[in-house]
Chains A and B, each alone.
Chain A
Amino acid sequence: MRPSTEPQPLATPVDLAPDPVIRFQNVSKNWGSNQVLKSLNFEVAPGEKVSIIGPSGSGKTTILRILMTLETPSEGLVKVDGDVLWDVTAGQKVRETRQMRETRRKIGMVFQQFNLFPHMTAMENVIEAPIHVLGMDKAEAKARAADLLNLVGLGKHMNHTPPQMSGGQQQRVAIARALAMRPKVLLFDEPTSALDPELIGEVLNVIRNLAHTTDMTMLMVTHEMRFAEEISDRVVMFDNGAAVESGPPAQIFKDPQQERTRTFLRAVLQH
């Protein structure tokens, strides 16, 4: 093990391109007296695949939810692809702005609970936003949706509704639905946590393919350590509202510099 004498400056990882696609600057999030994020600084380079690991309640998911505008930061600046998503000073009341809505379109999200529209077929789920947000015509949206559903291995299930599908199939439809919006950044919030063990593999395969074949930026909160190690360019360890360590998977998993990372990994890799 390397002597951990010189801890890397946190959350400003080294070889980053000059213009990050995601940038958190002094972002805090409070729930009452509980500080979920503590003046977070965090950047993701274009095309980078980043996994966020850490104990539950450490603020990992909050990062994704702030990016998707499902949560309002209490304070701080968040930029996506150069555009301001959030610019909040403490105590300020925040409203949804046009700018925010425009910027949000660059981001897609895959949820832990899939959140497919249960009354619509897989196809309808995927074409809804391209038609009504991007203004694509129906025939084109359908053709693209068919391609995407084939890509996630569900070509035969296009006309099935979510209740007729397994969890793994639903999550793959959800991935196709997010991809249909051509996001620059795709967020995964524990995409396999709600799945039966035997269905996890099919979803991970789809995500792995995406990671290897697209230049889309991917930010994933996950408990699948092996998977994070395999597909990530960088892994960020979160604890207690702050990034405690960030680095290439080989370093984080094989040679963590921080005691907190070591304890966490020991605990989760035991089983």
Chain B
Amino acid sequence: MIWDNNFAVSVIPLLLEGLWVTVRITLLGTLLAAVLGIFFAILRRLAIPVLSPAVSFFVVFIRGTPLLVQAYCAFFVLPAYGISFDAFTTGVVVIGVNYSAYMAEVYRSGIQGVPKGQWEAATALSLPGARTWSRIILPQAIRTVVPMLGNYLIQMFKDSAVLSAITVVELMATAQAIGSSSFRYLEPLTLAALLFLAISYPASRLVNRLERRYAPQH
């Protein structure tokens, strides 16, 4: 098969549409994962009977099963129990929840890295628990893990291709659809790969920079 420039150019607009879906999934999924992850990390740390072990189990469960299996379950099994959303929403929730389990671990390491003296100072000032978390602990914990969260964002950007399996028409699914309808896979798949790279490479450079910027100050 020989590269057909005209065909390649003609499919670019469609692929860009797919890319835009991928980007939206990634941003919304990361937002969901980042917020859920914080709650999971805090709940585990608070050691509340029943709730904290349940969260721990959930995190282990999510991390121990493939994203693809989770996506299939959410898309094909849950509707049988009356829980059903469109493919895009399901995709965002699945990938967001999946990554929240990993991000919870990242936050946990960040929280553990905050010196014990910070908790003690908060106690000595009688700061309420919610205020201690929101103003003292989390700002310091999150600061140190920003680069790690950035890495997960890039990983999610690539992983979102898995969601093509549950009919989310993102970049990968678009490339596949073009291939199967035109019987030319070379151009759409190559371009899809290049588009993934065009975003993930600068993004990882940015994360490297963040790593240097947020390096421990001592």
Contact = CB atoms under 8 A, between A and B. Distances in A.
Interface of A: 68-70, 101, 104-105, 107-109, 111, 113-119, 128-129, 132-133, 163, 177-178, 181
A114 B115 CA distance: 12
A225 to B, nearest CB: 26
Given A128-B135, A132-B131, A163-B217, A117 B126 contact: no
Given A113-B117, A115-B118, A129 B139 contact: no
B120 A118 contact: no
B124 A178 contact: yes
A128 B136 CA distance: 10
22 contacts: A68-B124, A70-B120, A70-B123, A70-B124, A107-B124, A108-B124, A111-B117, A111-B120, A111-B121, A111-B124, A113-B117, A114-B117, A115-B115, A115-B118, A115-B121, A116-B121, A117-B121, A118-B140, A118-B217, A133-B126, A178-B124, A181-B125
A128 B125 contact: yes
B143 interface: yes
B126 A128 contact: no
Given A115-B117, A118-B140, 19 more contacts: A68-B123, A108-B124, A108-B125, A109-B124, A111-B117, A111-B120, A115-B115, A115-B124, A117-B118, A117-B121, A118-B217, A119-B139, A119-B140, A128-B135, A129-B125, A132-B135, A133-B127, A133-B128, A163-B217
Given A117-B136, A119-B140, A119-B143, A128 B118 contact: no
B7 to A, nearest CB: 54
Contacts of B120: 68, 70, 111, 115
Interface string B127-153: 110010001100110010000000000
Contact of A129 (B115, B117, B126, B143): B126
Contacts of A105: 126
Contacts of B128: 132-133
A14 B2 CA distance: 102
Nearest to A134: B126
Interface in B88-125: 115, 117-118, 120-121, 123-125
Residue from B120, B125, B136, B140 whose CB has the most chain A CB atoms within 10 Å: B125
B127 A181 contact: no
A111 B115 CA distance: 13
B116 to A, nearest CB: 9
Contacts of B127: 128-129, 132-133
Residue from B118, B124, B127, B217 whose CB has the most chain A CB atoms within 10 Å: B124
A177 B127 CA distance: 13
